[in-house]
Amino acid sequence: MLDLFASGELSPVGALAECERAFDESLGVWAAMCLDRAREEARAAEALWAAGTPSGPLCGVPIAIKDLIDTADVETTAGSLMLAGRVPDRDAEVVRRVRAAGAIVIGKTRTHEFAWGNMTPPVRNPWALDRVPSGSSGGSGAAVAAGLCAAAMGSDTGGSIRMPAAACGVVGLKATFGRVSRDGIVPHSWSLDHAGPLTRSVGDAAILLNVLAGYDPADPACRDEPVPDYRATLERPLDGLRLGVCRNHFFEDNQDDVQRAVETAIDDLAGQGATVVDALIVKTTQS
């Protein structure tokens, strides 16, 4: 999308209009929307691109935010009636960063109550309306898959970015703990919570992580370490990469077509130079 903005083949106004045209109420994705503000920001971003002065690496990109993540002037309820009407007075750090990079927040995506569970009602999977998008970032995963936004923010404690990414056929990134600030995100488990993007491609995820990563003193777990350019390694060969495969836990109930797809992906990565290592998960019982 950014390349299209730069070439003039697409504008931020046009990109937002495409997202609006893709809107499908039956998906149940949105917890709240802020389209009037988004349209105004898209017009401003279009003028900046026309002048050759984009405001940042996400200038004019329409992004959705999980309803667990605070947004100034937009209701944030964490999917709970207990927090209905709660409007934060400031953005979460990850929202502040994407806005500072020029992104346009178009709405809040649904999560189930306080992110507990893995289904995200009433959101439907855009690939099959009789199926769930998983969770708890299911609204974000479905929104990206359906073209309602270019990318979305989610959070992950035990799979809440990764599972919707898998169910909806998009890219979900759970970065190393401490790499992305969680300030302004309703907590689930302080020692396990992560914030991260859901996108349409690995390249887009790298662009988002370049913006999101970095030290924030407001999050005690956030690491004060340099942030590399994640895009620089996108074309790096897989030689030397060790790929752990946990067959004795995650493969036990796979359907045949899922199993074939996973094995094909493993073989493809091995064919590109990765070393496949079987990892054993030891299950313990308590007396």
Write down the pLDDT at residue 283. Answer: 66
Which amino acid, 30?
A: W
Tens of pLDDT, residue by residue over 53-69, are: 999 999 999 999 999 99
Percent of the chain residues past pLDDT 70, beyond the cut: 98
- Which among 219, 104, 90 is positioned nearest to 151, based on CA atoms? 104
pLDDT tens per residue across span 231-257? 998 988 999 899 999 888 788 888 999
Q: Catalytic positions, please?
A: 66, 136, 160
Instruction: Cite the residue boundaries of each domain of the chain with CATH code 3.90.1300.10.
Output: 2-233
How far apart are alpha carbons 111 and 77 in whole angstroms?
Answer: 9
pTM (predicted TM-score): 0.93
Predicted local distance difference test score (pLDDT) of residue 284? 63
Residue 202 in contact with residue 235, Cβ under 8 Å?
Answer: no
- Quick check: 285 pLDDT over 80? no
Inter-CA distances, 270 with 71, 235, 252, 264, Å: 42, 16, 22, 10
Tell me the CATH number of domain 2-233, given options 3.90.1300.10, 3.30.460.80, 3.30.930.10, 3.30.230.10.
3.90.1300.10
| pLDDT tens, position by position, 71-85 | 998 999 999 999 999
Q: What is the reported pLDDT for 248?
A: 83
Distance, in Å, from the CA atom of 103 to the CA atom of 216, rounded to the nearest integer, reads 20
SS (H, E, C) 209-265: HHHHECCCCCCCCCCCCCCCCHHHHCCCCCCCCEEEECHHHHCCCCCHHHHHHHHHH
pLDDT band at 287 (very low <50, low <70, confident <90, very high): very low
Tokens of 244: 């752990």
